[in-house]
A and B are shown apart, each in its own frame.
Chain A
Amino acid sequence: MASVPRSFLLLSIIPTILILCADFACCNTGRKTGDGLDTDFSGFSVPFEHSFEVDDVSRFRMRGALQLRGGRETSVSLSQSQLSEEDRNTLKEVAVVDGLYKIRVPRVSLTDRQTERQMDGYLTAFVRACSLVESHLSDVITLHTDVSGYLIGVSIVTIPGACRGTEVEDEVDLEAFNTTLTIIAPTNAPQPETALFIERMDIEHEKRGKPQEQKSFFAKYWYLILGGAIFLMASSSAQPSAGGAEEQQS
């Protein structure tokens, strides 16, 4: 799971997030590409192509094969070959003229195998060739699906993403891709949180304690009234004597 970008971990506040799988493969040798095309029972593979030309006219070539597995646990993995000597040179030339490095995958459905071949067209994305070179072929490729499992988009970014014009030694750095591959399904947007709110209100109510039941005026202040009455009675009975005392004092 180390390959999952940190931002996604932070995203986990959102209740149901469907980052279903994050798997990556790198440094595979060229052999596997051919084998990947014949599918096994649980998954299937589609070609993964790229294009980088000095004149910016797209000529897509095979980069590898994507192993897709639909169903409850959607997963994806990529097997890809190293860049050839010629490719490396072209890529560097493209980077110099600030050309683009494009990738494409065919439109497929992860769940419905029948329609897979019927859909035509590709999903395309690009990154600046210089940033790919300067990042030493470290790219992050994300496949997006919609609610019913169709692939709707692909994106590619490199880390770091900037072009600073640093020199790259092609022998060491431009041989193999260091690819992080994720597949993202749409998140469910939250509904209004009525239940939680009501619960919270109840707790607050309880915290405040039960409200005093409404007592009648007499029930509430009986002791005061009684006390007042006694005092009145006492004072009225004691008045003449008290008055006598005052007179005596003066």
Chain B
Amino acid sequence: MGRYLSMKPSAKMSKPTSLFVIFFSLFVMSEAVFEDQVGKFDWRQQYVGKTLFAHFDSHSQSSKMLFLATDKNIFASFNSRTGDLIWRHVDKVGPEGTIDILLLHGQDALMVVGDGRLLRSWDTNMGGLNWEAMLDTGSFQAACFVAIQDTVKHVAVLKKAVISLHYLSNGHQKWVENLPDGDAVQYQAVYSGGEEEVYVLGVVPNSHLTIIAYSLEDGEIIKQRSVEAPWLSSVESSCVVVGQGMLMCVDPATLALYTLPIQAEETPQFNQILLQSLDLEVSPSFQPVLVSSQPHPARSPLSEFFLQLGPDHHVLLQLNADGYTIAPLRDFQPAFLVSFATTGEKTVAAVMTPKNETACAINLFSADSGRRLLDTTVIFPLDLNGGKPHKLYVHAFLKKDDSVGYRVLVQTQDHALTFIQQPGRVVWTREEALADVVTMEMVDLPLTGTQAELEGEFGKKADGLFPMVLKRLSSQVTLLQAWLAHLWKLFYEARKPRSQVKNEVTIETLSRDEFNLQKMMVMVTASGKLFGIDSKSGSILWKHYLENVQPNAVFKLIVQRTTAHFPHPPQCTLLIKDKDTGLASLHVFNPIFGRKSHIALPVLPRPILQSLLLPVIDQDYAKVLLLVDDQYKVTAFPSTKNVLQQLQEMSSSIFFYLIRSDQGNLSGFRLRKDLSTERIWEVVLPTEVQKIVAVNGKRPNEHVHSQGRVMGDRSVLYKYLNPNLLAVVTESTDAHPERAFVGMFLIDGVTGRIIHEAVQRKARGPVHFVHSENWVVYEYWNTKSRRNEFSVLELFEGTELYNSTVFSSLDRPHLPQVLQQTYIFPSPITTMEATLTEKGITSRHLLVGLPSGAILSLPKMFLDPRRPEVVTEHSREENLIPYAPEMPIRTEWFINYNQTVARVKGIYTAPSGLESTCLVVAYGLDIYQTRVYPSKQFDVLKDDYDYVLISSVLFALFFATMISKRLAQVKLLNRAWR
């Protein structure tokens, strides 16, 4: 943009202006980072989400690969020694990309995607796609490998009414067959034991079981059997295949096991074995679960299997060789989780048992005998702030002395993955809950002890002159001490080699840096786990798992007290609201340490409609949170006497608004003295015409430095800075491309006055918008021209201010002037936010998250409705860029260079202590933190600033003045003598 500006007007421009333009262009020009700055101020963390399937690479003994398929439609590979991501495939969001199953054989990973839409084969070494095959329609049921003569050559995919067999080498279909009687029978399982047949198991609930054997060669039905099973409702949940093709089912009603040989020639019957006869008892109201293992698809499954009888009760059982009797091998109680693992010819069972409050023990048992293997105990530490163990994935291997060693991956309820190695060492932990960050805040770090002491001195009440002097002296002495200690440390560390000096951030050493560039990022994830992350390094400093959070909960994070009120600790409040019932609960915690605070919480028996943070503070400097319930009653938190008194005094000036988008209703309320409310205004947007999609006020911590804009003729155009302004975006209910529109309403949140009402014709959402200062920027889809467009609205009071001292929504009779301009944007966007700085002097940029994962820093200068169509002397003076309908995207504006952020969901900006610097966090699947300098670093000296030259010049000048002064004196004296 620099080049553009300085080139265009060069012909007629007067000298000072052109100089200014060049200067200015330098300001805006360079945005990209230099090569040596990569990773210096920014970091990225990549996540994959909640694990659904996990496999270890057993293909070679020394392999370090671990494969995961997750609920975020991601297939990824990790280095199991470090927990680092090797490669990752991010598929489409939503049901189209869901991973139904992940099967691993040798170097091939087979995956069925999108409810049976696609069958994919991946090369696990490189992560490349081997092939992809489209499957017939129908919802996915099951899949398995099919082997002939010890080699796996095919994969069978069972869908609701179809079974198909594909070659493993190229994905081509060998045969596809319709399943008989598909309406009545629910086909749920497919089994192959290495013979010439593939068996499909279907069930007519509470009636009978159907077994169909297909010929591997041509898909012909070899035999079809129907077995009476009035107790069976689902094969999937209650049956497994054990031993030499023996179907094993458990019936919770009769408390019995049923066995049935699948391959039997004649009409088979289920053989009932009562659990009582095995001396087993099921916990009340628990659905027993069977776990079996088929180590190799070419061979039949093991004859040993687990039966879960209660939440912490498992039994290892063995099917005897006669195929009809069962022998219990070992009883595990208590045991949370069990899992089979095979290496070579040996199969082991890993069992997790509780050890004490803070740890669980995992032991290996021989599968065929139930004997405990010696020296196989590892300890899994239970995090009190984490979730309970949810699943075990065991990787067994043969050691040199032929004994079995193993590593284990534990998945906990909070989606965290922990990898443990013998003997009981936690190798790595991944917090996969961070793949779904819902909301976040940045909190200043606390002062150091010495700084705090100095601060505290001012907070205390004055008690005489002399004690004050003493106190001051003592704190100065402590400061001196701290400084000396720091110097000593520097000196001491300077002698050590660089690599040994570690600056590890721990929760104890956290303190604010000089320019407040390091902050605590408090992140709330959809799973209900809260994180405290150091913004400088990205390391997780604390975590807290809220156990009973509903999956559809809505979170709102509020900073009630910042770090500025020493000795009161900072305080954050998380409002957790159930989306369906509206019932809410509060979680109050210290954002620096993550500890839950023990403040008495208000009782919230009714659904909460709205929460608002007042600028009113209680005697402990906590801002007051008002919660409005569905009867328009207000609850204050904290609700001390002091607060209630303040609220009563201020009640007539506390206004709030409620929006019911399903009714198109916006209404305003005023607080009464008894904390009830009265409705004072109402605006209704008929839902037949348009529906409200988004409402956004301004950020309360935003500062606007300049009240107006100086125009070319040196007059001032004052901005309309209404802090109560709401931007309401609507979309038409009529979706026809010719009649669809997007509405933009600017409504005063106190008086309900519609300040501006504009309609963007032939437009459709999704609308992304930013509302700040005196402008609103929104982006929409133009249905006529089929492109994305940006529009900017700016509000001005005019050349005179109505009341320059204070803004009141109640006393502002004239409507502002509204200017608007629209531009074409060459890319769709996923999210948008504006930069924020301490004092608002720095020019603003828009941070635009693109679907490609890039984050674009777009100067607000380009989105200025005063950009002239015809360049005049005035517009040049004002530095307005001539209007161009298309908005450029410059690659040097990408603030995250090649560190793409997959599926950007939100961008958070926070001011730092330096006016030029804004901290940015982009989150989605990944988390990316960086700093941006919208007007370059005008308040920071460069790294290569030449101190020596400047000081030598200064000294030289100083001495030159001294000498010349002396000389002049001598000369004057001499002249006087003449």
Question: Which chain A residues have a beta carbon within 8 Å of chain B's beta carbons?
Answer: 5-8, 10-11, 13-14, 56-58, 98, 100, 102, 104, 107, 119, 121-128, 131, 140, 142, 144, 146-148, 150, 152-153, 155, 157-163, 184-194, 196-197, 200
Query: When each residue 343-361 of chain B gets 1 if its CB lies under 8 Å from chain A and 0 otherwise, what string results?
Result: 0000000000000000000
Kindly state whether residue B814 has any CB partner on chain A within 8 Å: yes
Chain A residue with minimal CB distance to B756? A187
A142 to B747 alpha-carbon distance, docked (Å): 13
B 733-746 binary contact with A (CB < 8 Å = 1; else 0): 00000000101100
Question: Which A residues are in CB contact (< 8 Å) with B756?
Answer: 187
Given contacts A5-B814, A194-B885, contact A124 B680 (CB under 8 A): yes
Question: Could you say which of A125, A144, A148, A150 contacts B751, with CB atoms under 8 Å apart?
Answer: A125
Interface contact B752-A153, CB-CB below 8 Å: yes
- Mark B810-840 against chain A: 1 for CB-CB distance below 8 A, else 0: 1111111111111110000000000000000
- Of chain B, the residue at the smallest CB distance from A193 is B885
With A98-B652, A122-B682, A146-B690 in contact, is A155–B752 under 8 Å at CB? Answer: yes
Min CB gap B680→A, angstroms: 5
> Which of B681, B814, B823 contacts A124, CB < 8 Å?
B681
Across the A-B interface, the 4 shortest Cβ-Cβ residue pairs: A155-B753, A153-B683, A161-B811, A157-B813
User: Which residues of chain B have C-beta atoms less than 8 A from A131's C-beta?
Assistant: 810-811
Q: How far is the CA of A193 from the CA of B882 in the complex (A)?
A: 12
Assess the A188–B814 pair: CB atoms within 8 A. Answer: no
Given contacts A125-B681, A126-B680, A193-B883, contact A155 B811 (CB under 8 A): no
Given A7-B798, A125-B752, A197-B869, verify A146-B689 contact (CB < 8 Å).
Answer: yes
> Quick one: given A107-B684, A187-B758, are A10 and B885 in contact (CB under 8 Å)?
no
**Interface of chain A, helix or strand or loop or mixed?**
mixed
CB–CB B682/A124 < 8 A: yes
Contacts A57-B678, A188-B761, A189-B761 aside, 15 further interface pairs with beta carbons under 8 A come to: A8-B815, A10-B798, A124-B667, A124-B679, A125-B681, A128-B810, A131-B811, A140-B813, A146-B686, A153-B754, A187-B757, A190-B791, A193-B883, A197-B869, A200-B869
| CB-contacts of B756-776 with A (<8 A) | 756-761
Name B residues whose Cβ lies closer than 8 Å to a Cβ of A.
652, 667, 670, 672, 678-686, 689-690, 741, 743-744, 747, 751-754, 756-761, 782, 789, 791, 798, 803, 810-824, 869-870, 883-886
B866 to chain A, nearest CB (A): 10
The interface residues of chain B lying within 8 Å CB-to-CB of A155 are: 751-754
Which residues on A sit within 8 Å (CB–CB) of B672? Answer: 56
The answer on a CB contact under 8 Å between B820 and A5 is: no
CB of B416, distance to nearest CB on chain A (Å):
48
- Whether the pair A5, B815 counts as a contact (CB closer than 8 A) is yes
Query: A233 vs B798: C-alpha distance in the bound complex, in angstroms?
Result: 76
In this complex, which of A14, A126, A188 has the most chain B Cβ atoms within 10 angstroms of its Cβ? A126
Q: Is the CB of A152 within 8 A of B815?
A: no
B815 to A7, Cβ gap below 8 A? yes
Report the nearest A residue to B885, measured CB to CB: A192
A198 shortest CB reach to chain B, Å: 9
Interface majority SS (helix, strand, loop, mixed), chain B: strand
Contact residues in A for B811 (Cβ distance below 8 Å): 131, 161-163
Q: List 29 A-B contacts (CB under 8 A).
A: A7-B798, A7-B816, A58-B679, A100-B680, A121-B682, A124-B667, A124-B679, A124-B752, A126-B680, A127-B810, A144-B683, A147-B689, A147-B741, A148-B686, A148-B689, A152-B684, A152-B685, A152-B754, A153-B753, A155-B751, A162-B803, A186-B758, A186-B759, A187-B757, A189-B759, A189-B820, A190-B822, A191-B782, A193-B885
Nearest CB of chain B from residue A113's CB, rounded to whole Å: 15
Contact of B681 among A126, A140, A162, A193 (CB under 8 A): A126
A143 closest partner in B (C-beta): B754
- Residues from chain A with a CB closer than 8 A to the CB of B741 are 147
CA distance A185 to B757 in the complex (A): 8
Q: Are B759 and A187 in contact (CB under 8 A)?
A: yes
- Could you tell me the distance in whole angstroms from the C-beta of A71 to the nearest C-beta in chain B? 18
Q: Which residue of A lies closest to B782 (CB)?
A: A191
Which residue of B667, B689, B813, B883 contacts A158 across the interface (Cβ within 8 Å)?
B813
Shortest CB-to-CB span from A202 to chain B, Å, is 13
B803–chain A nearest beta-carbon distance, Å: 8
Using Cβ atoms and an 8 Å threshold, which residues of chain A touch B690? 146-147
- Measured between beta carbons, the chain B residues less than 8 angstroms from A161 are 810-813
A28 to B690, CA, bound (A): 38
Set of chain A residues within 8 Å of B817, measured between Cβ atoms? 7, 10-11
How far is B387's CA from A4's CA once the two chains are assembled, in angstroms?
65
Known: A7-B817, A122-B682, A189-B760. A157 touches B869 (CB 8 A): no
CB-CB under 8 A from A123, the residues of chain B are: 682-684
Cβ-defined partner of B758 (8 Å) among A142, A188, A197:
A188
Q: In the complex, A197 Cα to B810 Cα: how many Å?
A: 42
> Complex: how many Å from CA A147 to CA B803?
33
Chain A: CB-nearest residue to B761? A188
Complex-state Cα separation, A104 to B672, whole angstroms: 21
Report chain B residues within 8 Å CB of A190.
Answer: 791, 820-822
B758 (CB) vs chain A CBs: closest residue: A189
Cα-based distance from A9 to B37 in the complex (angstroms) = 52
State how many angstroms separate the Cβ of A61 from the closest Cβ of chain B.
17
- How far, in angstroms, from A86 to B744 measured CA to CA in the complex? 43
Which residues from chain A contact B819 at a C-beta distance below 8 Å?
A: 13-14
In the complex the two chains form, is A192's CB within 8 Å of B824's CB?
Answer: yes
A186 — which chain B residues lie within 8 A by C-beta?
743, 757-759
Instruction: Report yes or no: A150 in contact with B689, Cβ–Cβ below 8 A.
Output: yes
